[in-house]
A and B are shown apart, each in its own frame.
Chain A
Amino acid sequence: MTAGALVANPAAKTVARRSITRPDYVEAEIAKASLSPRATWLDLAATLRPETIVHLAKHLKEPADSKLLGALLERMLFPKALPVILANSKGLSDAERSDVVRGVYERILRAVRDGSPAVPDFLEAKFGLKVMQWTIDLVRKRVREKEGTVALEEHHLTAHEAAACEDAERELRERQFGERLTDVVARELSKLPRWVQQAFIQHYFDHIPIESDRLDAVTIATLHGKTGRAVRAWFAKIRATVKNETRRDDNGHQ
């Protein structure tokens, strides 16, 4: 056994009974890395998955390890986390996104520094998802702090107007949405309160109804604590704006 090499019993994996287990490919990488001395970990890390790097870094607990631990975090884990953080903190200012990046980096550091390699956690099992979770968690808390309740004056829709809404929604969905929002819709949405943006996405992409006859049903209205009428009014406003903007863009191109 090489001095400073990692310690893993290949037989151990087969009897793992923890609620979170590392994926097989991570176990295979750990078994491979266990043959290498610590001095080579930084070079080795370039070829490893972030989950494996998290596991290696969790062994570094002593002051003499701080340089290697810092390098693994700064050169390997943080750069792998950054694209995920940026992809999940859209719609915030650069200063706010910098704060979110800092917050997630701190959580990665804490998880690695305080965690035990003997106890696999979600970061060791699904690095990308855990980073995404932390990012969204920080973003939602920031949004909650920042946004007051914005109320749009409710207006009554007649049955005829409501039917027209449904048609317009269908048309809008067909014209504007692929997997992601078009720039026009995203631009217009960004001017609105966050809950309206979220509600709009949940309605159009996740097909969550605005209202339901069932009292305990999950609807846009119950999720966001608004009346169905207020939600429809916001959506009508979005549709109208997008229609105008699209027309203006189309005219601009001609």
Chain B
Amino acid sequence: MRRSLALALTLVLPAVAQAQDTTAREGVRVGITYRPGTRPGVAVLPGATGLDSLRALVLRDLDYSDLFEVIALPGTDSMASTAGRALNYPLYRALGADFAVEVLGTAEDARLAIHSVSGGALVRDLAAGGLDLSRPDDRLRAHRLTDEIVELTVGTPGIAATRLLFVQGRRIFQVDADGAAVRAVSPSSVKALSPVWAPDGRRFAYMALEEDGQGRLFELAVGSDRPELVFSTGTGLNMTPEYAPDGNGLAFARAVDGQTDLFLVRTRDACCLQRLTVGRFADNLSPAFSPDGSRVAFVSTRPGLPQLYVMAADGTGQELFAPFDYGVTGASYAPAWSPDGQRVTFHRIVEGTPQLFVLDVRTRSARQLTSTGRNEDATWAPDSRHIAFVSNRTGSRQLWVIDLETGRVRQLTRVGATRLPAWSPRLAAADLTTP
């Protein structure tokens, strides 16, 4: 009934269709996986004049949360509400909406009104203030508003107010979680690799691969253009940094005795260098902390090919993490531990091509996630259900996002070849320090 009515209306919203790469244009449902009844419907009503871009942002954020069935409405004002008046709740109920969001006010003083359609009442009026969405800070503030809507309606924190770092060419770039506001954040003077966020989201670390083939680790505060050397051996290769969840320690791989081994150093004063592995004839690299900081997953070549191992954070109790068949299973790389601690993604060579896997930490069983093109170097969103990764499925290497709950995949970046993504924690309003 709901579906046929929706189809009969054949409502198409150009803005939404544009934002979506997988939109079924003939229907009203946005999103490739249509599972009626599993997710609440939300309608974002046509907004006041001059607020189209804010409405588009909110609508896209709600859609990308994969928590709602986003219900598209026509751009005409026939269904638009007038501020302060009750909505035509039965109509939106008929369209499948459980919630409705109104974008009200002016660009200088915007508001978001959240209605419970099923309850037939206004739930909350969020003050957005003046928003210039061409400014990164204002965009992030708008994303925060969406996350508040998510929290109000389904009770879980959203991931709209997050950013990803990635590598393109010589530099590290950042992009909002909705794929907009791409900009370079590392200096152009040095080739940067392997960005990783500090747990507070206020700084990140990366490796600088210098002209003489040495690798040094730097930290850069968000909004700053002055990297600080974290740790240097003078010469040598220091790579694959990863913050300990307490934000004080940085684990990394360092070339020593003809191989790479894992070390831990305190970032504040480069003190207390601690060696976690002794590889002898094997490389150990790519550390990934469990969110409680007690364990570290890493890549080791001790079985011949690189595979996933795990150890206590002090380096004791090293053991195989992701099972493999010797001589059959391909090499495995780049572990990333989910923020809820339950899963670890990595990529493994399947028929010559890297594919994403998810390891269940408790059962230690691994499931293959992808099969089209190259898929590698995954990073978790703070909600522990979305991961961003690098894929060449449409040609050049770009960042994509997959929702592990629905299997929905969307393309995040559309710039030159991108790689090595790092998804930020939720960025609070206090973190909005970018110029």
Please determine whether chains A and B interact with each other in the same assembly: no
